[in-house]
Amino acid sequence: MTANAQKETLNFQAEVKQLLNLVVHSLYSNKEIFLRELISNASDASDKLRFEALSDSALLENDTELKIKVSFDEKARTITISDNGIGMTRDEVIDNLGTIAKSGTREFLAHMSGDQKKDAHLIGQFGVGFYSAFIIADKVTVISRRAGLTSEHGVRWESNGEGEYTIANVDKASRGTDIILHLKEGEDEFLNDWRLRTIITKYSDHINIPVMMRKLPEMDEKPEENAPVEWESVNRATALWVLPKNTITDEQYKEHYKHLAHDYEEPLAWSHNQVEGGNLDYTSLLYLPAHAPFDLWQKDKQHGLKLYIQRVFIMDQVEQFLPHYLRFMRGVVDTNALPLNISREILQDNPTINKLRSALVKRILDLLEKIAKDEPEKYATFWQQFGTVLKEGPAEDFANRAKVAKLLRFASTHTDTSAQTTSLDDYISRMKPEQKKIYYVTAETFNAAKSSPHLEIFRKNNIEVLLLSDRIDEWLVNHLAEYEGKTLQSVAKGELNIDEIASTETEKEKEEHKQAEEKAKVEFDGVISHVKTILGDQVKDVRISNRLTNSPACLVSDENDMGLQLQRLLKAAGQDIAEIKPIFELNPEHPLLLKLKAEADQERFSDLTHILFGQAILAEGAQLKDPAAFVSRVNKLLLD
């Protein structure tokens, strides 16, 4: 076969071009990481081969020692990283190096501003990978051959990283992949044995397989002409997680994370556990990333841990180990308790997997609890990145509901800022002696929550209310009925127990309040039934309110009805739910109500009623059914 058989020139997918640009421009100050990335890929390729060879040993082709070789050629100004891992077919090379398969990439890259400094942080959310080769190279050649195919099925891919690449069929005797970097002008510092060794030990000491370099001649030794090249291992080549914990430094943990997660940034924390004996032998090394990946909310995105069985890599992204609400965790599980020939199907509902999963969930929740307690600032970072994901926990994980609830953080009227820093324990510690419930309000936005009319009576009596405005919050409170024996109560639901809220009032004041309320009920009886007739089937009921001080009116849900926010959420998600009507509450002390009561003109009474009802809807952060009619009514009254 000629070297250029079936040579084609193809274009990179548009996203690849953007990503390449991003990588090259964001990482110029940390160039050396190209080697870590390429070694990580080589090591993944070796893991994959080792796994496939479990069921098809022919793939090993008499070349059973998996290793990575790093070499350089000063004259040609190239660095080569070779592995004898799984390799790639022609189609795989085109797919893997010419396109980005991750869904959501286009949307993610659309966020790029073109300002290199601003865009640099985006790479942390994406991962660096193969394209980091172009940080130091102006041409990259990849020669690969898939394990199990004959030597003429080799492929040669080449690109200068601009818009195109070429691909051709070549002969490749050995299985695996060679990556040849043709260095840019000015990058010669990397053509240096000591420099490369330092980078390898710094970043790749504990990947599973040896990273080899040419053995250097001893000082006084003159290399013989044509002597065979001798290779030696530069790294330690033992999986980090099998080492005794007390021999591992923080730096090593961090580097391992970067390899494992293909993340450019350091992890926030980790938990390393080696459990021996008993009926569940396993080692886990779990990492909490410092930032959310761009595709955290992508529905089809796979999450999960790497599974090793007896040190052999079995599968990536094993979702069965983690509930969905902990999908941000990265890491490995290595166990002797599962058979080597396990398949993805067997992983479903396997009792050992279920046991491992419970153990891992506990480790993760313990880790989070420890950070929350000892390092609140770090916890705040975690919360900002992953808080909304953790809020899925109480609905998903019944068994750990209380443990997850302890980790939740909310905005609250205690600070009145949007920062989610209040825990349920904080809240309880500030509860009034007579207070029995944990109060919250849900709204579309933080501002709508903060200025909700429902809060008026609580503010007046200095009772803290949690301000919930994340989309998931309604779902959360729907599944978290109580915490530490205290009911979670929406301030917009049901009748308020004024005794509990106005606990600072004396008995006499309370009695006076009650009487005033009764009196208002009688006095406004006519108004209430009139309003009811006007609003008709838009409301479930109309009644006098005891929760308002400044606002004329508000909407409330019946105790057992679905909250208004949740209704809106489910509707937005396309669910067909029967409309649940609100209760319309009126503040008898408000001047507008007095005006309403005194209004003799039927039309004006009706307009004012509709306006009050519309205002109450708006105060919920919700939308009016007929905004134009609302505006024209307001205008009519303004002109009066």
Q: How do strand 231-233 and strand 269-275 relate by DSSP bridges? A: unpaired
67 binds ligand ADP (CB under 6 A): no
88 binds ligand ADP (CB under 6 A): yes
Give yes or no for a contact between 402 and 456, defined as CB atoms under 8 angstroms apart: no
**Closest to 352 measured CA to CA, from 279, 273, 276:** 279
Q: Which of 89, 96, 298, 421 binds ligand ADP (CB under 6 A)?
A: 96
- Please tell me the distance from the alpha carbon of residue 313 to that of residue 510, in angstroms, as a whole number: 69
49 binds ligand ADP (CB under 6 A): no
335 DSSP β-pair partners: 282, 309
Give yes or no for a contact between 412 and 450, defined as CB atoms under 8 angstroms apart: no
Q: Which of 124, 129, 582, 621 binds ligand ADP (CB under 6 A)?
A: 129
85 binds ligand ADP (CB under 6 A): yes
Cβ proximity to ligand ADP: between 83 and 158 the closer is 83
**Closest to 271 measured CA to CA, from 287, 254, 252, 292:** 287
- Please tell me the distance from the alpha carbon of residue 492 to that of residue 455, in angstroms, as a whole number: 9
The CB-of-177 to ligand ADP minimum distance in angstroms stands at 4
Phi then psi dihedrals of residue 263, to 5 deg:
-105, 140
Cβ proximity to ligand ADP: between 130 and 410 the closer is 130
Q: Which of 20, 24, 27, 45 binds ligand ADP (CB under 6 A)?
A: 45
Cβ proximity to ligand ADP: between 42 and 167 the closer is 42
Q: Scan for tokens 């200068």, then name that residue.
A: 160
Return the number of other C-beta atoms located less than 10 Å from residue 402's C-beta.
13
How many residues bind ligand ADP (CB under 6 A)? The answer is 15
- By CB under 6 A, what part of segment 217-276 binds ligand ADP? 262
The CB-of-395 to ligand ADP minimum distance in angstroms stands at 31
Tokens of 500: 């509990």
Residue 439 region by backbone torsions, left for phi larger than 0, else alpha for psi between -120 and 50, else beta: beta
59 binds ligand ADP (CB under 6 A): no
Residue 262 region by backbone torsions, left for phi larger than 0, else alpha for psi between -120 and 50, else beta: left
21 binds ligand ADP (CB under 6 A): no
Q: Which of 12, 72, 130, 386 binds ligand ADP (CB under 6 A)?
A: 130
Residue 265 burial (CB < 10 Å; 0-12/13-18/19+)? middle
19 binds ligand ADP (CB under 6 A): no
450 binds ligand ADP (CB under 6 A): no
Q: Which stretch binds ligand ADP (CB under 6 A): 124-132, 202-210, 270-278, 611-619?
A: 124-132
Q: Which of 83, 397, 464, 474 binds ligand ADP (CB under 6 A)?
A: 83
Give yes or no for a contact between 500 and 436, defined as CB atoms under 8 angstroms apart: yes
Cβ proximity to ligand ADP: between 291 and 590 the closer is 291
Q: Crossing angle of helices 507-523/525-535, nearest 10°?
A: 60
- By CB under 6 A, what part of segment 162-181 binds ligand ADP? 177
The CB-of-341 to ligand ADP minimum distance in angstroms stands at 23
Phi then psi dihedrals of residue 209, to 5 deg:
-120, 160
Cβ proximity to ligand ADP: between 302 and 354 the closer is 302
The CB-of-97 to ligand ADP minimum distance in angstroms stands at 6
Q: Which parts of this chain interact with ligand ADP (CB under 6 A)?
A: 41-42, 45, 83, 85-88, 96-97, 127, 129-130, 177, 262
